[in-house]
Amino acid sequence: MPANLTPDYLAADKKFKAAATPQDKLAALEEMLATIPKHKGTEKMQADLKRRIAKLRDEMQRRKGAARGKPFYHVDKEGAGQVVLIGAPNVGKSMLLRALSHAEPEVADYPFTTRVPLPGMVEFEDVQVQLVDLPPITVEFREGWLYGIIRTADVAALVVDLSSEDLLSQTETVLSLLSEANIRLVRSPGQPGEKRAVVIANKLDVLGAGGRLERFREFIGELAVIPVSAAAGTGLDGLRQVMFDLLHVIRVYSKPPGKKADRGTPFILRRGATVLDAAEAIHKDFVEKLKYARLWGREHYQGQMVGRDHVLEDGDIIEIHA
């Protein structure tokens, strides 16, 4: 059977031959794999492309690991917590990262534009949330490190494309591949393999998006669905709030005795943290020396004394007395 290679594939092959760096070669190979016709006549070519991609990634990983001591896919957690963007190809993850942060990812209308994790910091009030754009989840891309990053992230944000007629089947494929990797997206995790998640329904501004959104809500079940448009900026402020809430953290501010509270940089603590936890975060010596604390809250507390086991709320101001 003839291969019948498309103009897009031939253009990608030309890019590969002209590529001067490993990154450009990898991009061209991935574009070739994405654009090659999928039929029996190209099975050997597809297998060869996958082998060449795997070999080149391995070489790049060893080279970067030797230079920096860390693999190319490692992302140090920063800010109040880490949210990873996952999904099928071309759903708009990179555009979301660009719209929400100061990161400058490459944005294009062909698959596998994102080849390595790309982090950016999203501002929410007085804190920042780390948002990481990941390569698309596909049958062809089965790198173990990709699923490893999802497992260790604080929250997974599944991005779907409201402009696509294949919205449901694309999502089924992603969820199936995650399940094969023993990852299940849920609203409130409590079992091994479960990951706290939300769905970001992107491209709300396109014609017909409203109807597809309704059908998708019925399909996805328990997961919260946040409709946005990265291109138009619709819903992004609400998405920032949702991402912070999903991290299950609180902001606590320190007030030295006799002085004003430091409202510049809050201490980030897990939801359910106590006065003792806050004291340790402010200074480890306070754990042993803590005598009592005074608390200013958003509603009920205005300088009252509280015990070390008192559970704190987001926005509390604490004055430690040692």
What average pLDDT score do residues 267-282 get? Answer: 92
Query: How many other C-beta atoms can be found within 10 angstroms of the C-beta atom of residue 142?
Result: 14
**Between residues 161 and 114, the one the model is more confident about:** 161
pLDDT value of position 74 = 84
For 205, list phi and psi in degrees, rounded to 5: -80, -10
pLDDT value of position 105 = 61
Own/partner pairs, 268-272, CB within 8 angstroms, 24+ separation: 268/80, 268/81, 268/127, 269/312, 272/311
Residue 274 is given by DSSP the state: B
pLDDT tens digits along 234-262 = 999 999 999 999 999 999 999 888 888 88
pLDDT tens digits along 113-140 = 557 899 999 999 999 999 999 999 998 8
* Contact criterion met (CB below 8 Å) for 202 and 230: yes
What average pLDDT score do residues 222-227 get? Answer: 96
pTM of the model: 0.77
- Kind plus residue range of the DSSP H or E element containing 82: strand 82-87
pLDDT value of position 237 = 96
CATH of the domain spanning 7-68, picked from 1.20.120, 1.25.40, 1.20.58, 1.10.3470: 1.20.58
User: How do 317-321 and 292-296 pair as beta strands?
Assistant: antiparallel
pLDDT value of position 106 = 59
What average pLDDT score do residues 101-109 get? Answer: 67
Closest CA relative to residue 122, chosen from 103, 101, 105, 104: 101
**Domain ranges for the chain:** 7-68, 82-246, 249-321
> For the chain, what is the mean pLDDT?
88
Q: How confident is residue 85, by pLDDT bands cut at 50, 70 and 90?
A: very high
Amino acid at 64: K
**Between residues 65 and 284, the one the model is more confident about:** 284
pLDDT value of position 119 = 92
User: Helical H runs in the chain?
Assistant: 7-18, 22-35, 43-68, 93-100, 144-152, 167-180, 209-220, 236-246, 275-282, 285-289
Q: Residue 76, by phi and psi: left (phi above 0), alpha (psi -120 to 50) or beta? A: beta
| Rounded Cα distance, 62 and 72, in Å | 9
CATH of the domain spanning 249-321, picked from 3.30.365.10, 2.40.30.10, 3.10.20.30, 1.20.120.1760: 3.10.20.30
Q: Tokens for 179?
A: 């399940």
Range with the poorest average pLDDT among 43-57, 78-92, 210-224: 43-57
Closest CA relative to residue 178, chosen from 64, 273, 287, 88: 88
pLDDT tens digits along 17-64 = 887 777 778 888 888 888 888 888 888 888 888 888 888 887 776 666
Fold adopted by 82-246? Rossmann fold (3.40.50)
Q: How confident is residue 110, by pLDDT bands cut at 50, 70 and 90?
A: very low
pLDDT tens digits along 296-321 = 987 777 888 988 899 999 999 998 88
pLDDT value of position 290 = 82
**Between residues 182 and 282, the one the model is more confident about:** 182
| Rounded Cα distance, 169 and 85, in Å | 19
| Rounded Cα distance, 79 and 90, in Å | 27
pLDDT value of position 291 = 82
User: Has residue 112 got a pLDDT over 60?
Assistant: no
**Between residues 75 and 245, the one the model is more confident about:** 245
User: Has residue 67 got a pLDDT over 70?
Assistant: no
